[in-house]
């Protein structure tokens, strides 16, 4: 649109208060946006640095725990308890609590299926001869 104006009109528009005020506001908004962008970038960098440091600390803790576990395993004697029995007991307890929740919610079909699963787990296996 500026190209259609004559030279005097273009000069008057460029020197007008409205145009000057618009230009000031646009430049102020650009400066504000630039400073916000820099602030967000700096916060992002510092947050990522903190995350990397915390990750390093977590890795150190895991390494320490693995070393402790390795030394504990070397010191431990073989126990008579079968770990599968402990795991089986935990699974049965979890299934029983699930069955109770299903009954409380009125879902008797699900409770029945869970009870059947418990029965299958607890069923004594007889080897074929």
95 and 62, same domain (yes or no): no
- Same-domain pairing of 15 and 45: yes
Identify the band that residue 93 occupies on the pLDDT scale cut at 50, 70 and 90: confident
Length of the chain: 129
Q: 38 and 98: one domain?
A: no
Q: What is the pLDDT of residue 72?
A: 67
Any domain includes 99: yes
Q: What is the pTM of this model?
A: 0.35
Share of the chain above pLDDT 90, in %: 7
pLDDT, one tens digit per residue, over 38-73 is 888 888 888 888 877 877 787 787 777 777 777 766
- Angle subtended at Cα 88 by Cα 81 and Cα 93, rounded to the nearest 5 degrees: 120
The answer to the question of residue 72 being in a domain is yes
Q: Do 52 and 104 belong together in one domain?
A: no
pLDDT on residue 63: 75
Burial 25-40 (b: 16+ CB within 10 A, else e): eeeeeeeeeeeeeeee
Number of domains the chain is built from: 2
The predicted structure's pLDDT at residue 126? 63
pLDDT band for 125, please (50, 70, 90 cuts): low
Helices (H) and strands (E) in the chain, counts: 4, 0
């Amino acid at each position: 649109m500026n190209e259609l104006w004559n030279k005097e009109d273009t000069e008057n528009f460029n020197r007008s208060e409205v145009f000057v005020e618009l230009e000031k506001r646009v430049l102020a908004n650009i400066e504000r946006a630039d400073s916000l962008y820099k602030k967000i970038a700096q916060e992002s960098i510092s947050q990522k640095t903190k995350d990397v440091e915390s990750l390093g600390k977590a890795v150190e803790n895991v390494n320490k725990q693995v070393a402790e576990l390795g030394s504990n395993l070397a010191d431990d004697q073989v126990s008579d308890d079968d770990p599968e029995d402990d795991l089986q007991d935990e699974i049965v307890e979890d299934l029983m609590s699930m069955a109770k929740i299903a009954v409380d919610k009125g879902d008797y079909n699900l409770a029945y299926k869970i009870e059947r699963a418990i029965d299958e787990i607890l069923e004594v296996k007889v080897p074929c001869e």
